[in-house]
Amino acid sequence: MVADGRAEGPLQTLSRGIAALEVLAAADEALSIGELATRLGLHRSITYRIVRTLEHHGLVARDAAGDLVLGAGLATLARNVSRDLQTAVLPELTAIANECGMTAFLTILDGQEIVTLISVEPRAAVATVAQRPGTRHALDRGAPGRAVQRVVSRDRGALPHALPYETSHDEVTPGLSSIAVPLDVPGQQPAAIAVVYLTGGTVDVAAIGERLAEAATIVRKDFR
């Protein structure tokens, strides 16, 4: 509260910096200053000052062409977010990625969105789909979002679903599909384990869904 009792609003500069990080996290490729400014709806000079501050803290970096990407400093900030959950899930994500030849990832609930916390790409794949940590989208879109919603629904006493997994095709990103299962761990945010792959390939959805469900069971046992 401010001195006269009015609620204090968000700090504009801080909000803009966070918005810049969210835009870079959601982008499919590195962005120029001009592209970032356009997406933020800000003047280029204001965007440049925001970027310089984020670069100073290691939260934004430049690629070989000088365009903007998320910086390694974000990993330092994120490593304690659901740290126990990350530790428990990582071996399963690694195994799933290499068994299925797909990028496997963990998402958690953040307000009305889900955010990717960690991801693992398969070692032997010629080409993989990147799922960057920090990527977020609406809770009601895509298989991971619906899987997280199942956890929330269980807390409210909803009836169980017929299948242990959710699927989606071209919902969040055109050309990409996903399979996900809910991950309900005591003391942790509602979460989901998922894989992402190119739409159109021959995929044994049921087998992958069962493998993800098995991984979720193993992770839950680690917390007992």
CATH (domain of 152): 3.30.450.40
Strand partners, 136: 115
pTM over 0.75: no
Contact 188, 82 (CB under 8 A): yes
- Are residue 56 and residue 108 in the same domain, yes or no? no
The string of DSSP letters for 141-195 reads SHHHHHHHHHHHHHHTTPPPPSSS-EEEESSSSTTEEEEEEEE--TTS--EEEEE
Q: What is the domain range of residue 49?
A: 12-76
Q: Is 172 within a domain?
A: yes
pLDDT greater at residue 138 or residue 38: 38
Return the pLDDT at 157.
Answer: 59
Return the pLDDT at 216.
Answer: 95
Contact 12, 19 (CB under 8 A): no
pLDDT greater at residue 178 or residue 1: 178
Q: Is 122 within a domain?
A: yes
CA dist., res. 26 & res. 58, Å (int)? 18
12-54 pLDDT tens trace: 889 999 899 889 887 878 899 999 999 999 999 999 999 999 9
Among residues 6, 221, 205, 175, which one has the least CA distance to residue 100? 205
- Are residue 160 and residue 209 in the same domain, yes or no? yes
